[in-house]
Amino acid sequence: MIDVDGEAGGGQLLRTALTYAMLTETSVRVENVRGNRPDPGLKPQHRAAVRVAAAVSDADVDGEELGSETVEFDPRGLSGGHYEVDVGTAGSTTLLFDTLLPVATALDAPLSLTARGGTDVKWAPTMPYYRRVKLPLLRRFGLQAAVDAERPGFYPVGGGKATLRLAPSTLDPIRLAERGDEQGIRVYSTAADSLANADVADRQATRAVERLDAMGHEVLERSVTYAAADCPGSVLCLRADYDSTTTGFDALGEKGMPSEDVADEAVDAFVAFAGGDAAVDTHMADQLLVFLALAGGELRVPSLTDHVETSLELLAQFGFELTVSDDDSPTIASGI
């Protein structure tokens, strides 16, 4: 059994440990779950991940109750089929999907997961980023995965609904060391229908397009959507396509935050990235490491963030050794 100290990694370290345990069919004990948080232990969104992973891998689990600070997880083998989970809060559905996404490489039959909770919330990939940026990039390397987004869910109520669909997949090496020339930008703006009278989604998109146009970036698509939701909220996502990669930059609307400021936050993040030479954006960097470990290749990242370093350390515990260059924009490589 592999012992993991979950104190510094938050809920993401627990979810990632579950993923690696399923992929390697290795028992894992995660102690001090979210130990450095004011309210340590399992919250509803973390318990949902444990329960889904256990169902998919026929695992024996100890410590899945709310508040538990130690989780033991012993998987026995992956199974396809359809699964459902309701987080019960605005906990992130995309982070829940991330727990299962890499297991497509080890499946013998299709798998789907319908999740209810928060689709567009802080500290997690937004649903537009997940569907428009992350999954298209991974599909280029052979991952067969898609998400059907039925209903958005914003903080604090949640109430969103989406379904992840996976098919057995064989990955090509992840070759993302260079970005190439910029091909254009796509703008995706979504708001709850209760914000339609204030033109929130339109204003977000208009501001982003105006700024991008002024800087000489070609906008290939402008998508504005209003959708029924259990509480007000909005999200803006920019997708930047290059010859060799796809990157994304998003921002969430908050009460009292002008729509134009939401757009500025996403555009500013894109501008900062465009001034460097990394092949993936900051958020994508640590999310691709497990696929790099499984398939081999190389990945040029903006920097070695705490998330990246924690992910590298956890991969090493499960027997995956990746090398890191000493550059301003480091290259992470796997020789598999």
Q: CA 65, 11, 4, 58 torsion: positive or negative?
A: positive
Range 112-137 average pLDDT: 97
Query: What is the per-residue pLDDT for 147?
Result: 98
The enclosing domain of 238 has a CATH number of: 3.30.360.20
Please tell me whether residues 163 and 209 are part of one structural domain: no
In a domain, 187, yes or no: yes
Q: Give the pairing of strands 219-227 and 182-192.
A: parallel
Please tell me whether residues 123 and 25 are part of one structural domain: yes
In whole numbers, what is the pLDDT of the chain averaged over residues? 96
Please tell me whether residues 292 and 231 are part of one structural domain: no
Please tell me whether residues 117 and 24 are part of one structural domain: yes
Please tell me whether residues 91 and 199 are part of one structural domain: no
Element (H, E) at 260: helix 259-274
Please tell me whether residues 32 and 71 are part of one structural domain: yes
In a domain, 207, yes or no: yes
Question: From the CB of residue 335, how many other CB atoms can be counted at a distance below 10 Å?
Answer: 10
Please tell me whether residues 167 and 48 are part of one structural domain: yes
**Per-residue pLDDT reduced to its tens digit, 52-77:** 999 999 999 999 999 999 999 999 99
Please tell me whether residues 230 and 331 are part of one structural domain: no
**Per-residue pLDDT reduced to its tens digit, 144-193:** 999 999 999 999 999 999 999 999 999 999 999 999 999 999 999 999 99
Range 41-52 average pLDDT: 96
pTM beyond 0.75:
yes
How many domains does one find in the chain?
3
Pair 277, 179: CB distance under 8 Å: yes
Query: What is the per-residue pLDDT for 336?
Result: 62
Q: What are phi and psi for residue 330, nearest 5 degrees? A: -65, 150
Pair 85, 46: CB distance under 8 Å: no
Query: What is the per-residue pLDDT for 329?
Result: 87
Query: What is the per-residue pLDDT for 327?
Result: 83
Please tell me whether residues 266 and 285 are part of one structural domain: no
Q: CA 181, 290, 307, 111 torsion: positive or negative?
A: positive
Q: How confident is the model at residue 328 (pLDDT cuts 50, 70, 90)?
A: confident
Q: Is the pLDDT of residue 200 over 80?
A: yes
In a domain, 177, yes or no: no
Q: Is the pLDDT of residue 37 over 90?
A: no
In a domain, 6, yes or no: yes
Query: What is the per-residue pLDDT for 107?
Result: 98
Q: Cis peptide before 156, with omega less than 30 degrees from 0?
A: yes
The enclosing domain of 130 has a CATH number of: 3.65.10.20
Write the DSSP assignment of 186-254 as a string of letters: EEEEEEEGGGGGGTHHHHHHHHHHHHHHHTT--EEEEEEEEE--SS--EEEEEEEEESS-EEEEEEE--
Pair 142, 101: CB distance under 8 Å: no
Query: What is the per-residue pLDDT for 275?
Result: 94
**Per-residue pLDDT reduced to its tens digit, 204-254:** 999 999 999 999 999 999 999 999 999 999 999 999 999 999 999 999 999
With 0-12 / 13-18 / 19 or more C-beta atoms within 10 angstroms meaning exposed / middle / buried, residue 218 is exposed
Instruction: Indicate which residues carry an active-site annotation.
Output: 307
Question: From the CB of residue 102, how many other CB atoms can be counted at a distance below 10 Å?
Answer: 24
Please tell me whether residues 258 and 206 are part of one structural domain: yes
Q: Give the pairing of strands 331-334 and 297-300.
A: antiparallel
The one-letter amino acid code at 307 reads: H
In a domain, 42, yes or no: yes
Q: Is the pLDDT of residue 123 over 90?
A: yes
**Per-residue pLDDT reduced to its tens digit, 148-158:** 999 999 999 99
Q: Give the pairing of strands 182-192 and 60-62.
A: unpaired
Residue numbers of the domain that contains 213:
182-274
- Cα gap 124→250, rounded to integer Å: 11
Please tell me whether residues 195 and 69 are part of one structural domain: no
**Which one of 245, 274, 303 terminates a domain?**
274
CA distances from 99 to 207, 262, 322, 327 (A): 35, 29, 21, 30
- Cα gap 31→258, rounded to integer Å: 42
Please tell me whether residues 21 and 106 are part of one structural domain: yes
**Which one of 142, 172, 202 terminates a domain?**
172
